[in-house]
Chains A and B, each alone.
Chain A
Amino acid sequence: MLKTYSKIKKYILASMILAPFLPFIIVLGIGFYYFTSSIENSTLAGLKQTVSDHRQMIDTFLQERKSDLIFISKAYGPETLLKQASIQKAYNDLNSKSRAFVDLGVFDENGIHRSYSGPYQLTLKNYENEFWFKQVMKKGTYISDIFLGYRQVPHFVIAVTSRVNSHVWIIRATIDTKQFSDLVEKVQFGRTGEAYILNTSGIFQTTRRSGGNLMETDSEFTQFPYSDNGIMHFIENIKTGKKFLYTSTFLTEKDWLLVVRQETAEVFRQLHTASYLIILISLSGGAVIFSIAIVLTNRIINRIRQIDNKNELITQQLIHATRLSELGEMAAGFAHEINNPLQIIKNEQSLLLLMIEEINKSSSAIQPQTNKEINDSLEQIAIQISRAAKITQAILKFGRKEKPSMSQIELQSFIPEIINMVKGKATVNDISILKYFPENAAPIVCGDPSQLQQVLLNLLNNAIDAICEANDSTGGVIKIEIALPDTSTVEISVSDNGIGINPDNIEKIFAPFFTTKPMGQGTGLGLSVCYGIIKNMGGEMTVSSNKNDGTEFKIQLPAA
């Protein structure tokens, strides 16, 4: 039985948790997805904007420096610049436009450094085989990658050509890498956000804040996805275990890659906060659902159990009643069988009495001594017959073999009369008898008054005995209550606060000859007779008891 309850409980609990929990989780999941993707999109969009703005700025810078150089070459003319004074002046001009220029030099078409203005001694050095020289000769203008050159200092140069007559002159200026790096690195956002430039071979053209010096190779570069143009973004794990969100784009002025990156943990911090919030919501929501489910399930299971117990009780009572009626039949048959010889004995006894009388009247009277002995014996027989007959009558009553004489009994006046009969005994034992009648009804039952009286007296006497047997017999209370459960039934209940009945005995309590009283007190027929009488009147009698708490007998009789 218990097993089935726990099974039902598991089933109900599972469905009560799952039913609200599943949609809850789904709604939460969908919300989470849209929320996070919107955050992700806006973050990315911001990053891309940054990259594109930055590229614009760097491109502009390079373009301006290039125009500066072209302007100088046009304004002065390459041949004029061969003079030291002119080139000095031109450098000053240039410097006034932008502090980024480190030096200025003029080269002839054979790569000989013809004049120079700047901190280094580079005049007359041959640059014929330098990469930038070849490039500028080929393209007319050129911005170099960072290289060391004769000065053995990382720098990059902008060079333009100028044609005078049939001679080609090259005018070159070096850009301050420090200034350029500052320009690039100027972009700074968040704690880990940074920008830097790589050339096509992944060599740093500007320094990187989080480590990465000029001329070094970016170790992550090989993992970058490659695209010719446009802005790219990707997430890359770097060797230190950190995760970065990269945004990269090529510059328009030079085939340099501008990289802006930020640690994903920082980029998506908002996202994480959102996740934590969602987890918190689902946990607390789950807890609420769970506890509600448990409370409700317990309530349902208790209800089921109550109903089951009630049904069980009814079934038990039914079985019990059937068994009692079976026993009743048997007992009645038994009593009947015993009654036959008892009847014979009774007849013979009266016959003997008659004969003795006759003899004593006649002339041959018996001696007084002997006569007394005979009469005593006959009297003894009579006494014992009635004693045995009482028992068989009681058994017959339990077995319902007699038709009761039915009449209407007004309980309102009937019950106080009975209470009066036991009042003396009750008062002696300090027991109060309380009666409860329904307020606006006068219950009348259909039954045999003397038999009902016998039943109630029996119950009251039992109740008094039960209270006296309890250790603290003071404050004993017997309640007689009348209720009308429906229009056709009157229920009389007699309850006490005595010792109660042992659960083992409660089933047997109505069986004939069952008694818990010590030998010689009570035959064990009282309650079985009560039961038989009530059954015979068309009523029901039940008992409920808690050991040490008391006992309640309920009698249901048809209302008149």
Chain B
Amino acid sequence: MMTEITILLVDDEAAFRQALSRRLNKRGFNVLQADSGSQCLSMLNNHSVSVIIMDVKMPEMSGIETLRQIKKKYPDKVEVILLTGQVSAQDGVTGIKIGAFDYLTKPVEIDHLAEKIKQANESIIRKEERIAENAFREKVAHQMAAAERLASLGTLATGIAHEINNPLAIINESAGFLSQILARQKMLQIPCRKEFELSIDKIITAVERAGKITHQLLGFARNGHSDYTRVDLPELIAESIDLLTHEMSNRNIDITTSFDPLSKEIMTDPFQLRQVFINLLSNANYAVGENGRISISTANHGQEVAISIQDTGPGIPANHIEKIFEPFFTTKPPNKGTGLGLFVTRNIIDKLGGSIRVDSKLNVGTTFRVVLPKCLEMQIKAFETENSATDWISHIKGESYHDKNSD
């Protein structure tokens, strides 16, 4: 099925414009008109045009100049066909050097023009396809890098957990045993008993903190494996909120949700995505303080779904915005946060093929916006059928199948 091609006709001669427009309309093109270069440029801002037919000779801004500006602003979105007088064919050549698709001399032969318009439109479609392909490749490469990073992080976390948690456990038990000794009847009278208890408490707290760091990293990293299943997004978010309700209700925090019915179900890894929500929600929870408000909403974006988590906290200072996704960066007081939460969050989202963005205004609040593909594998498949399958894509696909099977 051929979609309608939208043409913008730019000429200062109204009569010529009307006549040509009528004739092109008859051939099934959707024709817009502009009487000058500047009007053409302003129309491009709010209309989606694929082909521009423009007279070279125009008062005020010439066709060549307009072309130059169009190509600067929309290098790949629109093709321009120039119309020149018999004597000014040289202008057409100049136009092509700047990036015009072609030029025709007036008077134009309507069949010829229609043919050229179709060619120009095809060229635009090809360019768009190429851009989409490149963007997709970049995205998958990015995603693979994230998965790899997460995997090496997983090895690191597992190693550290094993090597550090065992001594920590022994310290824990030793300190605990000390406090048990201290609790014995005959030890009740010992001098500086308070100091003893304080030291032991400090040791146990320190062990807990170190243990938390290792377990947190472990819980997130999970060695890079993914289980993709159908996930009910509102349900998953509600579940994540439930896990934090206890903490929130104490401080009278108001949570509102609004879900887009069009993006109810997505294909993703529920465990990792829940981790993301818990993480973002506990950050929001920490930020808002008492009587704050947190709102969560989903929005449908074609093949993707956007999830916003907004809080009414103090906001993030501009000099911190850049760093919040780095490992071990935290604004929480020592012993409160590990600084790993957002780092791991971003890595998980990258791996799920999505993206995360943060907008923050001081004293107003912070919004985290997570965009996820509704179905990553389907997207890959759709991409494959549209384009001739490249080795590279099938390689990626093989990998993801491999992951699925090994799980």
Contacts and interface: CB of A to CB of B under 8 A. Distances in A.
Interface in A477-517: 508, 511-514
Interface string B147-170: 011001101101110111001101
B394 to A, nearest CB: 14
B199 A366 contact: no
A316 to B, nearest CB: 13
Given A331-B156, A344-B202, A349-B203, 5 more contacts: A337-B213, A364-B191, A366-B190, A370-B187, A373-B177
A355 B195 contact: yes
Interface in B194-243: 195-196, 199-200, 202-203, 206-207, 209-210, 213-214, 217
Contact of B202 (A329, A331, A348, A381): A348
Interface of A: 323, 326-327, 329-331, 333-334, 336-338, 340-342, 344-345, 348-349, 351-352, 355, 358-359, 362, 364, 366-367, 370, 373-374, 377-378, 380-381, 384-385, 387-388, 391-392, 395, 508, 511-514, 523-525
A209 to B, nearest CB: 74
B195 to A, nearest CB: 6
B206 A362 contact: no
Centre residue among A341, A374, A513 by max chain B CB count within 10 A: A341
Interface stretch (B40-48, B58-66, B178-186): B178-186
Contacts of A378: 174, 178
Q: How large is the interface on B (under 10, 10 to 19, 20 to 34, 35 or more residues)?
A: 35 or more
Contact of B207 (A340, A345, A370, A523): A345
B338 interface: yes
Nearest to B210: A341
Contacts of B199: 348, 351-352, 355
A394 to B, nearest CB: 9
30 contacts: A326-B149, A330-B327, A333-B327, A337-B213, A337-B328, A338-B164, A341-B206, A344-B202, A344-B203, A345-B203, A348-B199, A348-B200, A352-B199, A355-B192, A355-B199, A359-B190, A366-B187, A373-B181, A374-B178, A377-B177, A378-B178, A380-B174, A381-B171, A381-B174, A384-B168, A388-B164, A513-B155, A513-B162, A523-B159, A523-B163
A513 B191 contact: no
Interface residues of A, dominant DSSP: helix
A359 to B, nearest CB: 6
B334 interface: yes
Contacts of B175: 377, 381
B160 A334 contact: yes
A514 B152 CA distance: 9
A27 B334 CA distance: 90
A137 B199 CA distance: 165
A323 B160 CA distance: 19
A401 B242 CA distance: 42
A336 B163 contact: no
A384 B174 contact: yes
B203 A330 contact: no
B186 A385 contact: no
A374 B181 contact: yes
Contacts of A373: 177, 181
A330 B156 contact: yes
Contacts of A333: 327-328, 339
Given A352-B196, A352-B200, A387-B167, A334 B152 contact: no
A338 B190 contact: no
Interface in B338-363: 338-339
B189 interface: yes
Nearest to A366: B190
B164 A512 contact: no
Top-8 shortest CB links A-B: A513-B159, A341-B206, A384-B167, A333-B328, A344-B206, A341-B210, A388-B167, A377-B174
Given A352-B196, A377-B178, A511 B156 contact: yes
Contact of B186 (A326, A367, A384, A387): A367
Nearest to A379: B174
A523 B203 CA distance: 26
Contacts of A513: 155-156, 158-160, 162-163
Nearest to A524: B159
A335 to B, nearest CB: 8
Contacts of B163: 388, 391, 513, 523
Contacts of B214: 338
A334 B213 contact: yes
Contacts of A342: 206, 210
A338 B160 contact: yes
Contacts of A366: 187, 190
A444 B335 CA distance: 48
Nearest to B175: A381
Contacts of B191: 359, 362, 364
Contacts of B174: 377-378, 380-381, 384
Contacts of B164: 338, 388, 391-392
